[in-house]
């Protein structure tokens, strides 16, 4: 049976979330696999090591969260001050959302 085409994506999302919630050294491969709902063999099918997965997860985070946020707030025809204000408003909303869903803690994910 082949591996699901969503396994790699789920691993990247799980790793990205866990890395920002904790830290690289605190996150285990088993934790990533459990969060992604895949077996450890699937992780090693897509990634050579935990460090390779971490680098891919950071790239995934940049492409799916950070870059779109920067493009939305800084590449418009708005005046510079308006760009900064809208970005900070967005960031504050993200932090409030993360705070509400993370037992009262802010994590690095909301800092971009």
Q: Each residue's pLDDT tens digit in the chain (112 positions)?
A: 455 569 999 999 999 989 888 888 989 999 999 999 999 999 999 999 999 999 999 999 889 888 888 888 887 788 999 989 988 998 888 788 877 776 655 555 444 4
Domain that holds residue 89: 7-111
Q: Which two tokens stand for residue 22?
A: 């904790």
Question: Does residue 33 lie within any of the structural domains?
Answer: yes
3-state SS class at 105: coil
Please tell me the chain's helix, strand, coil percentages from 3-state DSSP, rounded to the nearest 5.
70, 0, 30
> 44-65: buried (b, 16+ CB within 10 Å) or exposed (e) per residue?
eebbeebeebbebbbebbeeee
Q: Does residue 1 lie within any of the structural domains?
A: no
Confirm whether pTM is higher than 0.95: no
Q: What is the CATH number of the domain that holds 21?
A: 1.10.357.10
């Amino acid at each position: 049976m082949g591996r699901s085409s969503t396994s790699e994506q789920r691993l990247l999302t799980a790793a990205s979330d866990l890395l920002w919630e904790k830290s690289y050294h605190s996150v285990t491969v088993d934790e990533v696999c459990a969060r992604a709902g895949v077996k450890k063999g699937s992780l090693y099918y897509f990634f050579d090591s935990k460090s390779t997965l971490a680098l891919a997860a950071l790239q995934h985070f940049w492409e799916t969260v950070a870059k779109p946020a920067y493009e939305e707030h800084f590449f418009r025809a708005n005046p510079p001050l308006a760009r900064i204000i809208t970005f900070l408003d967005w960031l504050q909303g993200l932090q409030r959302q993360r705070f509400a869903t993370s037992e009262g803690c802010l994590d690095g994910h909301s800092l971009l």
